[in-house]
Amino acid sequence: MMGFREIKMSYIEFNKIKKYLIFLFLIVLFSSCEENDSTLAGVLPASWAKVDTLTDVTCGLTKKNKLYCWGMAEFYHHSITGKSTPMRIDGEWIDFSVGDSFICGIKTDNKLYCWGRSGALGIGETQVPNEYIVSPEEVLGGFTDWVSVSAGSNHTCGIRKNKDLYCWGLNYYGEVGVKKGICEKNEDCISPEICNLDSGACEESGVIKAATRYEPVLVDSNLKWKTVEAGNEYTCGIDNNDELYCWGKNDEGQLGTGDINNRYKPEKVDSAEKWKTVALSKKNTLGILLNDNVLNWGNGTLSPVNESYENKWLQFSISEGHLCGINLESKLFCGGINLSGEIGIGKRSEVEDLTEIEGSNWKMIITGNSFIIEGVNMTEYYKGHTCGIRESNGLDRIYCWGNNDVFQLTGEQDYKTSPTLIKY
C-alpha cells in the first residue's frame, strides 16, 4: 500500500500535470482562434493585412484571407440600415478596395469580383441604373491574373500580373483613361444625340449622354504599371519606371499637368521626380517620392510643389477635410477639420498642422468622409473618419475614429475622438 507521503507526492504530481494540460489546451484554443480569425466574446481581434474605407462602409482583410465589412449595409443589400459588427464576405481574398457604395475584391484564384451600386462594377450594364448588386459578381473579361484593384467614387481600376492596367465605370471626365464614350459615328447614338468625334461620347445640345464603360478597357498599352489609385473623377498611377501619370478631371489642377484641362488618357505629371506612392482626394493630390519627401498639388496649384512636412514618409491618405501620414519611424500624424474627431487627438477641434497621434508601430492609414455638400462650408458640416493598422501585442490590429453615424467604426453610433480598437 502507498503511504501518506507517496499519496501526497502523487497528488502534487497530478496537479502539476493537470495545470500543464490546461496550459496546453489554452494555447491550442487561442491558436485556433487566431487561425480562424474568430474571437472570444468579441474581445480577441484578428491580425489584419489591410483596411479600407471611403464614405459609409469600412472593410478589413485578415492575414488568413478573410474579408469582413461593416457600416452602411448598401454593400450587400439595398438598405439604409447599418451593420454595427463586421460581417464576413464569402470566399478567400488577397486584395480589395472600397468605393462609393460599392466594393471590389480579388479572390485567391486571382479572379476579380465587385458588388454594391452598379455602374462601376465592370459586370456589364444592368437593367436598372444604380441597381444594387447584393453579392460579389465576377468582372467581365475572364481574366484570372488580377493582382491589385482600386475603387474610386464612380469608377474602378485594376492591374493584372503582366502589369497591364484596366479601368471601367463612369467616364465623364476621362477618368477611365480612354475617350468619354464609345461612339464612332452618329448612328452609334440614339437620335437626336450625335457623336462627338473628339471625345467619343454621345451628346445632345452639348450635354453628354453616354459616358460609362461597363466592362474593363485597357489603359495605354504602351505602359506597364506598379500601382494605381482611382479617386473622385480622376485617376493616378505609377508606372514600371517610377514615373507618375494622372488623367480625368482637372478643374483645380489635381492632375499636376501645369494646367486645368481634363485628360482622357494618362499624362505624366509636371515633375522629373521618381515616385513611391500617391494619394488622391477630390481636388487635391499628394505624392511621396522615392527619397521619402512629399510633393503636393491641386486646389489651384497646377504643378507639384514641395510640402514643408517634417520627417520622411512611408504613406499618406487624404480626404476632402483631413489627412494623415505615417513616417519612416511608424509614427502617425493627422491634421485638418476635426468636427467628428477624425484627427484622433481625443477632442473635436480643428488641427491646422500635422499632429502626432497616440500609439506606435503604425503600418497603414486610410481617411474617409460621409457628409459633403457642394457649396456648403466644410468647416461647419464636414463629417470624416479614419482607420489604420498598428502592431499591438504581436498582432496587426485595426483602429478607427471619427464619425460613426452608420457604424463605419462598428459599435455604438457615437463619435470616437481617439483611435478605437475594432472588435468582432
pLDDT at 125: 84
| All structural domains of the chain with their residue ranges | 47-167+226-421
The residue with cell 501585442 is 393
pTM recorded for the entire structure: 0.84
Please tell me the distance from the alpha carbon of residue 387 to that of residue 406, in angstroms, as a whole number. 15
Please tell me the distance from the alpha carbon of residue 323 to that of residue 334, in angstroms, as a whole number. 6
At a CB cut-off of 8 Å and minimum separation 6, what does 25 contact?
A: none
> Counting every residue, how long is the chain?
424
Is 417 within 8 Å of 401 (Cβ atoms)?
yes
Residue-wise pLDDT tens digits, 266-278 = 999 999 999 999 9
Is 36 within 8 Å of 47 (Cβ atoms)?
no
- Helix/strand/coil for 315: strand
The secondary structure element, H or E, covering residue 297 is strand 294-298
pLDDT at 376: 57
pLDDT at 26: 36
- DSSP-derived secondary structure for 8-64: HHHHHHHHHHHHHHHHHHHHHHHHHHHHTT--STT-S---EEEEEESSSEEEEEETT
| Three cell numbers, residue 74 | 448598401
Is 165 within 8 Å of 159 (Cβ atoms)?
yes
Q: Is the peptide bond before 192 cis (omega within 30 degrees of 0)?
A: yes
pLDDT at 371: 54
pLDDT at 28: 36
pLDDT at 186: 87
Quickly count helices (H) and strands (E) in the chain. Answer: 2, 31
At a CB cut-off of 8 Å and minimum separation 6, what does 396 contact?
A: 47, 48, 49, 63, 363, 389, 390
| Three cell numbers, residue 73 | 449595409
Topology of domain 47-167+226-421, CATH? Methylamine Dehydrogenase; Chain H (2.130.10)
Which regions of the chain are under pLDDT 70?
A: 1-45, 73-83, 127, 129, 180-182, 199, 206-210, 370-381, 411, 413, 424
Query: Per-residue b/e over 36-50, b at no fewer than 16 CB within 10 Å?
Result: ebeeeeeeebbbbbb
